[in-house]
Amino acid sequence: MASTDEQHLSALRTYWKRHQAFPPMAKLCEVVGLSSTASVFELVGRLTEAGYLQRVEGRIAPTRKFFGRPVVGSVRAGVPEPAPDDDIELLSIDDYLVDDPNRTFLCKVRGDSMTGAGLLDGDLVVVQKNSPTSPGDIVVAVVDGNVTVKYLRQARGRYFLQAANDAYPDIRPAGSLEILGVVVGSFRRTNRHTGRAG
């Protein structure tokens, strides 16, 4: 894709982020910095052919590729290495973490009981409903009316919940234990000023 089209695509992504919709074609001229609607039609045609846009009921709409972010290979956390020269693929957060959007929800972690599993206070966990569960899974569960995220464990034929922090005792249900879903991933936003995880 030409660099000018990449700049126009960036402008469209910025506009979509702010408005969650595209404006009429006449307004698109201003958004992408083109002088005529004919130029905008040509741009939309190229971006549609490249898979970034689609037409839905006579209007343009983003595709999943539109929301993709470049994956520039892997990056070492140890000794730096040369940057990869390979082709860059596009990947969206949904592509990476969500297998079935109809069965997936997010939960914000509160507290430090799961730090040993890499789940910190403020993290968002990706939870898949109606999934087979087995001891050892990290689950979001309702135990005796209270919601928590813990390891699912089993002993003597009975299920209980276990933290990933030795400061917290096991939770053995006095009455009910309902599994809302299995944690299949997590993510967090880092503090942009200090570089520390927030």
Strand partners, 177: 143
- How many angstroms separate the CA atoms of 58 and 167, rounded? 59
Q: Which listed residue (10, 65, 92, 113) is catalytic?
A: 113
134 counts as catalytic = no
150 counts as catalytic = yes
- How many angstroms separate the CA atoms of 181 and 87, rounded? 36
In 17-174 the beta strands, taken as DSSP E runs, fall at: 53-56, 59-62, 69-71, 89-91, 104-108, 124-128, 138-143, 146-155, 158-162
Q: Which listed residue (131, 150, 176, 186) is catalytic?
A: 150
User: What amino acid positions are annotated as catalytic residues?
Assistant: 113, 150
